[in-house]
Structure 1
Amino acid sequence: MPSNKDYEIELEKLDGARNRFITEIAKNIHLYNITPSAGRLYGTVFFSEEPMTLDEMSRALGMSKTSMSTGIRSLLEANMVERVWERGIRKDLYKVEDDWYKSFSNVFINRWRNATELNMGAIQETKEMLLHLKEETGFDDVLEKVETDLEKLEEAENYYIWLTDVISLFESGKIFELVPKRTKKTLK
C-alpha cells in the first residue's frame, strides 16, 4: 500500500507536469496580447478541477488579488475564461472557456480586423495624397515615383481585402468547413 510520502511525490510530479505546460503558455500568450502573468493564471485555471475565485487564484500563484483581477479581466476579454455561477457561492467563479477554437477565433478576429481597418484607412489617405501630388507635380521623376507608389499601394490593398475575406471566414465559422476542428470524436 502506497504511503503518504509516495502520494506527496506523485503530487509533485503532477505539479511538475502541469508547470511545464503553464510555463510554455506564459511564454507564448503574448500572441494573444496578454501578459505572461495572465498566461500563468490561465494555466492555473485550466488545470483546476473546479472553477476558481480570485482569492483561490491569488493563493495558488502567490500574487495579489488585484493582479488576479487584472489578469482575469484580460482573459475574459479574450474569451479564454468565462464567469460561472454555482449555487451557494457568492464570489465570482471563473473557468477556462472549453472551446479553444472560439477563443482563438475571437482574438484573431479582433486583432486582425482592427489592424486591417487601420491599414486600409492609411492606404486610402496615402492614395489621396499621391493622386493630389500626381495632378500638381511638374517633375517627371516625381510623377514616376507616384505611379510606382500607387501600384505598391494597390498590391497592399489587395492583400488587406484578402485578409478581410479570411477574417470573414472566422467570423462566419466557415473556416471550420475548410479546416475542421480536431476533437476526440474526429480523431477516432
Structure 2
Amino acid sequence: MENKGKETKELEDLNELKKAREHFVSEVAKNIYLYDISHSVGRLYGTVFFAEEPMTLDDMSEALGMSKTSMSTGIRALLEADMVERVWEKGIRKDLYKTEDDWYKSFSNVFINRWRNATVENTTAIEETKGMLEELQEQTTSDNVKKLIKSDLKKLSQAEAYYTWLDEVISLFETGKIFDIVPKQEPK
C-alpha cells in the first residue's frame, strides 16, 4: 500500500515537472522569433533543452508528434543559429543533438549575423542615396530642392554615424571583447 502511495506521488511530481518545463518551453517558443526562428522550432529547442540525453530526429519526432522531415528542418535552423550541436556517442549510428551549453555564443552569433547584414545593406543604401542626392544637387536649379537635399544629406550623415557605431558594437561581439565590458554571468 505504501509503495502505491509513493508511485502516485511520483507520478504527481513528474506531472508538475512536466508543467514547469512546458512553461519555460512556451516562453522560449513565444520569443524565439528574435533569433529569426519559428515558434514550432522554438518548441523543438525546448524539447532538446530538457532532454536527459542527446536526441535523434526520431526521438524529437516522437516527443513533439511532428514529422521527421519537420524535425530535420527545425534542427538545421537551430544548428545554423548555434543553439544546438551534433554530438557523437559510441555505438549509435544516427545523428544525435543536444543544446549548445554556451548561450552567449548562440546569442552572439545570431546578433552578429543579423546586425552585420543589416548594417552592410543600410550603409550601402546610404552611400547610394548620397550619390543620387549629390547628382541631383548638381543638376537642380531649385533653391527649395537644394535646401531639401542639404537636409537629407545631414540626416544620412547621422544615420551613417550610427551604423559606424553599430559596426563597432558588432566587432565587440565578434572579438569577444563585449565580455570584458559586460562579463558573462555564472550560474547560481
| Corresponding residue of 1:168 | 171
Say which of 69, 81, 85 aligns to 1:82: 85
User: 1:44 and 2:47 equivalent?
Assistant: yes
User: 1:181 and 2:184 equivalent?
Assistant: yes
What TM-score comes out, normalization by structure 1 length? 0.97
User: For the aligned residues, what is the CA RMSD?
Assistant: 0.8
- The correspondence of residues 1-188 of structure 1 with structure 2, limited to 5 A, is 1=2, 2-184=5-187
Q: 1:55 corresponds to which letter in structure 2?
A: D
CA-to-aligned-CA distance 1:85-128 (integer Å, 9 cap, x gap): 00000000000000000000000000000000000000000000
Q: 2:91 corresponds to which letter in structure 1?
A: G
Instruction: Give 1:5 shift.
Output: 1.7
Q: Secondary structure at the match of 2:85?
A: strand
Q: What is the CA–CA distance in structure 1 between the aligned matches of 2:172 and 2:58, rounded to whole Å? A: 39
Q: 1:163 corresponds to which letter in structure 2?
A: L
Q: Which structure 1 segments of 5+ residues have no match? A: none
Instruction: Give 1:8 shift.
Output: 1.1
Q: What is the CA–CA distance in structure 2 between the aligned matches of 1:66 and 1:8, rounded to whole Å? A: 33
Q: What is the CA–CA distance in structure 2 between the aligned matches of 1:63 and 1:150, rounded to whole Å? A: 53
Instruction: Give 1:3 shift.
Output: 2.4
What TM-score comes out, normalization by structure 2 length? 0.97
Aligned pair count reads 185
Q: What is the CA–CA distance in structure 2 between the aligned matches of 1:183 and 1:70, rounded to whole Å? A: 32
Q: What is the CA–CA distance in structure 2 between the aligned matches of 1:100 and 1:144, rounded to whole Å? A: 50
Overall identity of the aligned pairs, in %: 65
Q: What is the CA–CA distance in structure 1 between the aligned matches of 2:14 and 2:62, rounded to whole Å? A: 18
Q: What is the CA–CA distance in structure 2 between the aligned matches of 1:12 and 1:115, rounded to whole Å? A: 44
Q: What is the CA–CA distance in structure 2 between the aligned matches of 1:7 and 1:79, rounded to whole Å? A: 35
CA-to-aligned-CA distance 1:26-70 (integer Å, 9 cap, x gap): 000000000000000000000011100000001111111111111
Q: What is the CA–CA distance in structure 2 between the aligned matches of 1:7 and 1:58, rounded to whole Å? A: 26
Instruction: Give 1:6 shift.
Output: 1.5
Q: Secondary structure at the match of 1:94?
A: strand
